Structure 1
Amino acid sequence: MNSVYIDLAIGLVLAFLLFSLLLSGVNEGLVRLLGIRSKFLWAYLKDTLDGDKGKKSIPGTIAEVFSSLPFRRDERPAYSAKPPPVESAATSWTGLLYERLREIDHGKDGKTSIASIPPGRFAMAMMEIVTGEGGVPAMLAKLEAGGSPLYRPLQGAWDTAHGDLDAFRKAVEQWFDGEMSRLTMLYRRYVRWVLAVLGLVLTLLFSMDSLEYGRAILTDNAIRAQVAATADGGAQSLRSLREKCPDHPADPYACVTEVLSAPAFVQMVGHAPVSVRVPDGGSPKWSWNGGEWLQRLISPGHWPGFLVTFFALLFGAPFWWDILRRLTGIRVRAGETGK
């Protein structure tokens, strides 16, 4: 009996893990396709370095991250593979910064694809800008005159350094590191809501009823147990098996073969509006299940299972992988943990 419950637990956890990975893959695909991380970073840099008379480029609401940010005017600098010029042609502080970050960039759709700037690299780029502007005081004066929001943190760093350029560089590095940590937390908070929306869409698209899936796993185990009992009990035991397979009264084993050839997990993902079936020795056959899919969605009996699936996906793939390891005893080699 314990093995039945273990099979049930492993089956559910494995399903949640696979669909969580699918959810993460869809989210990562959208992020890369739309360049959301890179746009998010450069919108922050534009606000911080250049300012825009109170108008912010970085999203202020969750809806803007995946709605207006990917499709509005791209704030990112144009990609260039050239080394930093001796005499800069940039007209903004963001442009000056990008000229010194080209070495870590690679082209994509004509815009920079930089989505993460190491704090040390940012500090060195600022020091290069300082040299080009004639020193820290001269640069701070230009920042103040232009109304750049960057003026206050750099002025504080310069006051703390007491004229020491190396101390100023380290202060700028520490400040930017803190800003990137804050920006990362903000981005993750936005992404959690996006993942919740995608998880709901995925659950409804496949009409994944976890409770129904659990019952299907138990049914598979019950049929296997019945087959084993029939094999030991002889022809007399076929009576109960025939009752489970009314479509094959003469050959109940054919019913068992048909049922177990479509395990519970296959049944779980087979309720999408469009499904595919691959017969033995044949080509894939696509079928439209829109009517059945819609009926499942509006059936209150499936709603608790949909809700369980939705909340399970919110835990994420790492959580379910850890649970699966604990249930199955899978161990990660020490050399792989650091990768």
Structure 2
Amino acid sequence: MINNVAFDVVIGLIFIYLLYSLLATVVAEIIATKLGLRARNLKEAVNRMLTDEDDFRLKGRWYDFLGKWFLEKIQRIGDSLRLMKNPKNKIIDRFYSNPEIKYLGSSGLFKYPSSFKAVSFSKTLLYLLNGNTPLNVSNIDSTLRNDAQKVLGKETAEYVLNIWEDSEKNIVKFKMQLEAWFDRTMEQATEWYKRKIQIVLLIIGFVMAWLFNADSISIVHKLSKDKNAREQIVLLTSSYLKSNPKKPEDISTSLTANEAKEYKQNLDSLINVKETIEADIESTKTLLGYGSWPPDSVEVYKRSNQIKFKPQLDASILSVAQKINAQTGKSLKFNTSDKWKYFFGIFAKHFWGFLITAIAISLGAPFWFDLLNKLMSLRTSNKEQTESTNTNKNNVVKPSESN
């Protein structure tokens, strides 16, 4: 197993995915923080708790021609891909205007809080239902039965009334039930956020694969053919795991996001390791590939009757004139138009390889870190076992020698 080419290729490929996933995690967390995705996700969750789901709006001939089921599926898919949701209606606006929630946020993009406790939810909801009147059983009961639908969605109002009755009309129990409802919803909201971040990672991963020309198919081909590159990346993998024994944190759970200060501290920590990650990727890139944006001038030389470029280029994407110049050994010049043609030529040729890389990056650094550790442990154990077996064979005393 230790000298198995396929095994080393898999290790090298996973290591590449790990490095790019780490860098993508840094970029995704910065984007999520700057755009306030956590706060938007929380607001979306609270909105679903307090309001009824919107009815399907598309009507007319398209509705009749394509069918309700198909159009609803399209709408739901599009709705799932909307990362910047910011629900606005009278109910959610009143909820977020309450001082209990309003002053938990800051200003600008951080106007809405990224998290708040269940007790804040129950207090705010009771205020919406009861207003400034004294909080007692008769007022709450009357409001829930007669006026709840004025401040909540119809289905939500019925559900809250059921909670009230299950609490045996005890205000303390009612609050506890509301808080438990909020906590359950927040558990699901965390899963929503993970899925959104995975979409962000997929997009970032594809862009990153395009910019770095990280085509998974080309990487496998290069590693399987180049023994030196394969050995170097396995050594680099071993060195990386020794110097980074701690598992990277999942982007969706690494930050508690209670305050902007905490955001900043975590971002500073991520940015501090960004240079190291980029250096590792650059080291790997010298073994496996090249970027998608060529420089102004590229040197051409021949080695073993093959044309080589410094820095490396994908010769199949060059124009006819550039290929002729390369055959004569002339250095290649790239103007802005040539660079854009090469850039999009890389995209067209390596699209599927980039897509595979992007999907791999979206799985997250923790996934690849765990898998890489397991494979390297297997590789090391097999190596030790092989060496031990060889040693035992060398120490065997032949019958003729014993005599």
Post-superposition Cα deviations, 1:31-67, rounded to whole Å, max 9, x if no partner, equal 22222331232244345436698699xxx64545665
Post-superposition Cα deviations, 1:141-197, rounded to whole Å, max 9, x if no partner, equal 432344544422221111011121221112111222222233343444444444434
How many residue pairs align between the two structures?
Answer: 265
Of 304, 310, 327 in structure 1, the residue corresponding to residue 375 of structure 2 is 327
Partner of 2:252: none
Closer, same or farther in 2 for the Cα pair 1:22/1:76, shift >3 Å?
farther
The more displaced of 28-37 and 5-14 is 5-14
Please tell me whether the aligned partners of residues 12 and 230 of structure 2 are also in contact (alpha carbons under 8 angstroms): no
Partner of 2:28: 27
| Structure 1 position 109, deviation (Å) | 0.8
Q: Secondary structure at the match of 2:111?
A: coil
Please tell me whether the aligned partners of residues 39 and 75 of structure 1 are also in contact (alpha carbons under 8 angstroms): no
1:213 aligned onto 2:213: no
1:101 aligned onto 2:116: no
Please tell me whether the aligned partners of residues 50 and 92 of structure 1 are also in contact (alpha carbons under 8 angstroms): no
Of 295, 298, 304 in structure 1, the residue corresponding to residue 348 of structure 2 is 298
Partner of 1:173: 179
Matches within 5 A, 1:39-58: 39-46=40-47, 48-49=49-50
Q: Secondary structure at the match of 2:108?
A: coil
Give the unaligned 5+ runs of structure 2: 58-74, 232-281, 298-333, 379-403
1:199 aligned onto 2:219: no
Matches within 5 A, 1:137-148: 137-140=141-144, 141-146=146-151, 148=153
The more displaced of 108-117 and 267-276 is 267-276
Letter of the aligned partner of 2:187 in structure 1?
A: S
Please tell me whether the aligned partners of residues 200 and 310 of structure 1 are also in contact (alpha carbons under 8 angstroms): yes
Q: Secondary structure at the match of 1:174?
A: helix
Please tell me whether the aligned partners of residues 8 and 217 of structure 1 are also in contact (alpha carbons under 8 angstroms): yes
1:312 aligned onto 2:317: no
Partner of 1:123: 122
Post-superposition Cα deviations, 1:241-280, rounded to whole Å, max 9, x if no partner, equal xxxxxxxxxxxxxxxxxxxxx8653354622226699xxx
Please tell me whether the aligned partners of residues 17 and 320 of structure 1 are also in contact (alpha carbons under 8 angstroms): yes
Q: Secondary structure at the match of 1:18?
A: helix
Please tell me whether the aligned partners of residues 213 and 291 of structure 2 are also in contact (alpha carbons under 8 angstroms): yes
CA distance in 1, matches of 2:286, 2:194: 33
Please tell me whether the aligned partners of residues 76 and 112 of structure 1 are also in contact (alpha carbons under 8 angstroms): no
The higher relative CO (CA closer than 8 Å, separation ≥ 6) is in 2
Partner of 2:164: 158
Closer, same or farther in 2 for the Cα pair 1:290/1:121, shift >3 Å?
same
Give the unaligned 5+ runs of structure 1: 78-89, 226-261, 278-285, 331-339
Please tell me whether the aligned partners of residues 21 and 361 of structure 2 are also in contact (alpha carbons under 8 angstroms): yes
Partner of 1:266: 286
Closer, same or farther in 2 for the Cα pair 1:34/1:45, shift >3 Å?
same
Closer, same or farther in 2 for the Cα pair 1:145/1:265, shift >3 Å?
closer
Partner of 1:112: 111
Closer, same or farther in 2 for the Cα pair 1:92/1:206, shift >3 Å?
closer
| Structure 1 position 324, deviation (Å) | 2.0
Partner of 1:242: none
Partner of 1:240: none
> Identical aligned pairs, as a percentage?
21
Post-superposition Cα deviations, 1:290-335, rounded to whole Å, max 9, x if no partner, equal 4444333333xx46644542342243221101012223449xxxxx
The more displaced of 267-276 and 199-208 is 267-276
Q: What is the TM-score normalised by the length of structure 2?
A: 0.52
Please tell me whether the aligned partners of residues 205 and 362 of structure 2 are also in contact (alpha carbons under 8 angstroms): yes
Partner of 1:228: none
CA distance in 1, matches of 2:283, 2:226: 7
